[in-house]
Structure formats: structure tokens, C-alpha cells
């Protein structure tokens, strides 16, 4: 059996486990008077809907993550199932911490601790499932090729790409979203300058982080240059913005927030992809 098929099956198993954990976490959060993705405590949304949404969503993300995991397996730090645990920690970091920072910037109520537990579960089960299936269905281990990384060389390109993405995000927020959602705030110069600073700083920080990840997985990403940057950014967008976009629609009917999150692909990830793909130079 090919490694990507094993990754898909392992991801399916991990997605089911993560979805179940997410459902119980949602139930616990709501019972303790905290919001869950816009769902207020004692909401009329039935628990069955939350269960179906969480499990089905994590199955999709789990399968995709499992396939990617099988392709980058040899360069993930650790050995055996620890590689999956590492991926879970990384996913929880780039999703939960990033989303929490965004919510703090815009004073959006959010409880992010539960998603950390879920992503660690996702990675842990993925790692165990992949190891067990690999031992059973892969007779020969694939040859591991040493890959050189230029992680330090990704810091400056990542920062520049993040700055460009931040300026693009500011333009998008001020020129498109503010007039649609908060027209009274368009003329508030102080608020606009604050948005400029937070957008640029936020994206520079995460531009550096994503730039380092881009360098780490550079040789595993298809294509060259800018196209490589676009593929990498699409993957990051799929695992970061799409989950919040879906939940904002299903749970809270925050269509404006969903639109904001969805269009971020054009105004944040595309500029970042173009700049990082053009500026980053891998070691020869």
C-alpha cells in the first residue's frame, strides 16, 4: 500500500478521534458558561448538530493532514509516533495561538484552550495509526534523503512577506470591510492607525513563523519559486482560515466574519505567497 493511502487512513482515524474530543470539549465549555465558536451557553443549537459538524470537519482535515504527513514524514522531528505528536503541537500553535492573537486584537470573545487539546489528540492518534499501518502494509522503508534547510535565510523574506501581507490586509480591512460593517469607523483616524499597526505587526510575526516552516518543508512542496509559495500558502489557509470560516457560518451565522476570513486568502495569503516564493533562496 502506498504511503499516502496509509496517511489518508491514519488521518481518517485521527479525525474521528479529534472530532469526538472536540464535541465533548464543546459540551464542557458550553455547560461552564463559555462561548464555543459564537455559540452562546445554553444555546438552542442541538448537541447533535455540533457533534456532526465537529466529527465530519475533523475527518476532512484529518485525511488531508494524514496525506501531507505521509509526504513530509522523513523531515518531521522525532521518531515513530512522536512525529505525529510534534505535528499536533505545531498545528495547535499555528491555529490556536494565531487565532487567539487575532481575537485579542479585535476584542472577539474566544476560548482557544480546547482546540490545543484537540489538535494534540489529532496529531497523537495520527502518529500512532500511521506507525501501526506502516509496519503492517509497507514492506520496505523508503530511503531517507538528507535535506539541507536554510531556516535563518527565511527570517528576512518571511518578515518582508508578512509586512506586505499586513499592508494588504490593512487595505482590505479599511477599504472594503470597514465601509461594509462599520461605516462610522471609516473616518476614525486613530482607529485606522491602530489597525495599520496591529495588522502589520501581526503579519510580520506570523510571516517569520510561516517563512521558517516554508524553508523547512521547501523541498517537499511541488513546483518552484512563486508557485511553491502559493501551494504552501493554500495549505496553511486550508488549515487555519477555512475551519473558522465554516464554524462562523454553521454556529453563529457570522456571515460578515466568515466573509472576512474567506477573502483573507486573496489579501493576506496571496501577497505573502508571492513575496516569500520570490525572495526565499534555498541552499544549493
Give the three cell numbers for residue 209: 513563523
The residue to which cell 519559486 is assigned: 225
pLDDT of residue 180: 59
CA-CA distance, 163 to 208, in Å (whole number)?
10
- Phi, psi values for residue 42, rounded to 5°: 60, 35
Higher-confidence position of 210 and 143: 210
pLDDT at res. 27: 81
Cβ contacts of 226 within 8 Å, gap of 6 or more: 273, 274, 277, 278
| Positive or negative torsion for Cα 105, 111, 116, 121 | negative
The predicted-structure confidence for 18-63, as pLDDT tens digits, reads as follows 999 988 888 887 777 776 766 666 666 777 888 888 899 899 999 9
Is residue 59 within 8 A of residue 10, CB to CB? The reply is no
The stretches of the chain forming alpha helices (DSSP H) are 3-31, 47-72, 82-92, 98-105, 113-137, 155-172, 178-181, 189-216, 225-250, 255-264, 270-279
Residue of 149, 145, 150 whose CA lies nearest to 74? 145
Each residue of 153-200: pLDDT tens digit?
899 999 999 999 999 988 877 777 666 555 555 556 666 777 788 889
Other CB atoms within 10 Å distance of the CB of residue 265: 17
Tens digit of each residue's pLDDT (9 = 90 or more) over 56-101: 989 999 999 999 999 999 889 888 889 999 999 998 888 888 878 8
Residues 6+ apart with CB under 8 A from 83: 69, 73, 76, 77, 127
Amino acid at each position: 500500500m502506498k504511503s499516502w493511502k496509509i496517511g489518508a487512513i491514519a488521518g481518517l482515524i485521527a479525525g474521528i478521534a479529534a472530532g469526538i474530543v472536540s464535541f465533548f470539549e464543546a459540551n464542557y465549555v458550553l455547560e461552564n458558561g463559555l462561548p464555543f465558536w459564537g455559540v452562546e451557553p445554553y444555546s438552542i443549537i442541538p448537541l447533535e448538530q455540533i457533534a456532526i459538524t465537529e466529527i465530519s470537519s475533523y475527518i476532512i482535515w484529518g485525511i488531508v493532514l494524514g496525506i501531507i504527513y505521509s509526504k513530509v514524514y522523513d523531515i518531521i522531528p522525532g521518531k515513530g509516533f512522536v512525529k505525529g505528536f510534534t505535528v499536533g503541537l505545531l498545528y495547535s500553535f499555528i491555529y490556536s495561538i494565531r487565532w487567539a492573537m487575532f481575537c485579542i486584537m479585535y476584542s472577539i470573545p474566544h476560548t482557544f484552550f480546547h482546540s490545543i487539546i484537540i489538535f494534540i489528540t489529532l496529531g497523537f492518534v495520527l502518529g500512532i495509526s500511521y506507525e501501526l499501518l506502516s509496519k503492517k502494509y509497507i514492506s520496505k522503508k523508503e530511503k531517507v534523503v538528507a535535506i539541507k534547510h536554510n531556516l535563518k535565510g527565511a527570517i528576512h523574506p518571511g518578515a518582508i512577506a508578512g509586512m506586505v501581507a499586513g499592508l494588504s490586509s490593512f487595505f482590505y480591512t479599511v477599504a472594503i470591510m470597514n465601509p461594509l460593517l462599520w461605516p462610522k469607523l471609516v473616518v476614525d483616524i486613530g482607529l485606522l492607525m491602530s489597525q495599520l499597526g496591529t495588522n502589520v505587526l501581526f503579519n510580520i510575526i506570523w510571516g517569520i513563523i510561516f517563512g521558517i516552516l516554508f524553508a523547512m518543508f521547501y523541498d517537499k512542496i511541488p513546483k518552484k519559486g512563486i508557485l511553491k509559495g502559493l501551494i504552501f500558502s493554500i495549505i496553511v489557509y486550508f488549515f487555519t482560515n477555512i475551519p473558522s470560516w465554516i464554524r462562523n457560518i454553521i454556529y453563529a451565522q457570522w456571515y460578515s466574519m466568515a466573509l472576512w476570513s474567506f477573502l483573507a486568502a486573496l489579501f493576506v495569503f496571496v501577497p505573502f505567497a508571492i513575496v516569500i516564493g520570490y525572495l526565499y533562496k534555498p541552499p544549493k
